[in-house]
Amino acid sequence: MVLEITHGSDINKMILFFKKNLILKTFLLLFLFISIFFSLNFFYNQNKDTLAAEEEGEEIDYEKLKCGREIPVGEAMEKTGQLLEEITKELEKIESNSYYLVKTQKEMEELATLCSIENCTPKCRTACIGLSECQGDPCSDREEIEKLFVKITRLNEEIQAAKEKLYKLIYESVEPLCIKENEDIRTTGEKIRCAANPFCWELTRETLLSLLPEDFLEKIGLCPSITVQEAIARKLNLSRGEFDNCYLSPEDIEKVIQYEKTGKYLFNCQRVEKENYPRYTKTEIEIEEEGRKIKIPFCTSPHNWFCCTDTP
């Protein structure tokens, strides 16, 4: 076996790689907090005038409230959190294995420095005409060095595997568009393609990952999909538009108070479900009522919002 000793420059490269991953992890955490901040900020900016109007004496006729479709800001935050959790898990593997890799390489390097030709006893070959070979081992700790070499190889393989998975998570994570959860972010072309292939309707991300390459090409070659990042971006853009549409200017609020304009109000999912306001959701749950089973709308995410209006 040939043993290759990693020198100081290689160790420094590993430490630099480790630092870069810490920076990436910090950036991703920051991205999540910024996403949540802007999501909450959307609600505050768009709803503050309505809340002020209520304080001025506007009375909401809750019996006439009708809520629109879910605003998927909660789904965007949850998908961001899930993706970040998966990415962080792989970064932690790289961080941990990199630490032990550097530590093991130093141990191996220290043992290698103890190797010496003086540990050899010259052994003549044939007529002993100046040609000799080493009888014995110049490295008294060869067995331990070989064990460390095997450990280094394993750590390198685990780091490489984590790096490959990290790349796939960031650039190749697939979000199927034909499932009910994503009906609100499909383009017209994607809707047509989903309708044309019933197999796509129940396709989940987990199913995608479990399919063999030949099954993937045969069964879902026509199923539209996007990256998880694109799905998050679409849901955030949709949420921004819904919040904008629910915005009431001070002039509009005055007209609402005078019953000259329909009122608009932002409510979170928990309140809408608790008060059972009429609403449209992408998911349903089945309950039993008076001996029969009925389906009622159920929020796709508990952190989604609704824009509700006064019905005439």
pLDDT at residue 46 greater than cutoff 60: no
pLDDT of residue 72: 94
Per the CB < 8 A criterion, the answer to whether 138 and 120 are in contact is yes
Residue range 261-286: average pLDDT? 88
| pTM as predicted | 0.68
Domain that holds residue 123: 8-32+42-283+294-310
Closest Cα partner for 242 from 92, 94, 47? 47
- Give the pLDDT of residue 84: 86
Rounded to whole angstroms, the Cα distance separating 250 from 307 reads 18
Is 3 a member of any domain? Answer: no
Taking the CB of residue 64, how many other CB atoms lie within 10 A of it?
A: 14
Mean pLDDT of 15-32: 53
Residue in 308, 312, 311, 309 with CA at minimum distance from that of residue 70: 308
The C-alpha atoms of residue 312 and residue 310 are separated, in whole angstroms, by: 6
The pLDDT of 142-159, averaged and rounded, is 88
Q: Output the pLDDT for position 32.
A: 53
pLDDT mean across residues, the chain = 76
Look at residue 242 and tell me if it is in a domain. Answer: yes
Query: Mean of the pLDDT values across residues 144-173?
Result: 88
Q: Contact at 8 Å (CB) between 305 and 269?
A: yes
- Amino acid identity, residue 18? F
The DSSP element (H or E) to which 181 belongs, if any, is none
Q: Is the pLDDT of residue 174 over 90?
A: no
In a domain, 288, yes or no: no
Give the bridge partners for 293, in sequence order: 288
pLDDT digits (tens, 9 = 90+) for 13-23: 554 555 555 45
pLDDT at 229: 87
Whether residue 220 contacts residue 199, with contact meaning beta carbons closer than 8 Å, is answered with: yes
Residue 122 has pLDDT above 60, yes or no: no
Structure tokens at 311: 């019905």
The verdict on residue 252 lying in a domain is yes
Q: Residue 2 domain-assigned?
A: no
Q: Is residue 74 part of a domain?
A: yes
| pLDDT single digits (tens) 75-94 | 998 998 888 888 889 988 99
Task: Provide the residue type at 169 as one letter.
Answer: L
pLDDT, tens only, 276-302:
888 988 888 887 777 788 888 889 999
Q: Which residue has the higher pLDDT, 242 or 259?
A: 242
Look up residue 59 and give its DSSP letter: -
Residue 305, phi-psi category: left (phi > 0), alpha (psi -120 to 50), beta (remainder): beta
Examine residue 184 and state whether it is found in any structural domain, yes or no. yes
| Phi (first) and psi of residue 123, to 5 degrees | -125, 120
Check whether 147 has a pLDDT greater than 70: yes
Determine contact, residues 286/294, Cβ cutoff 8 Å.
yes
- C-alpha dihedral sign at 39, 42, 48, 51: negative
User: In the predicted model, what is the mean pLDDT of residues 20-41?
Assistant: 53
Joined tokens for residue 291? 């001996």
Domain tally, the chain: 1
Domain assignment of residue 182, yes or no: yes
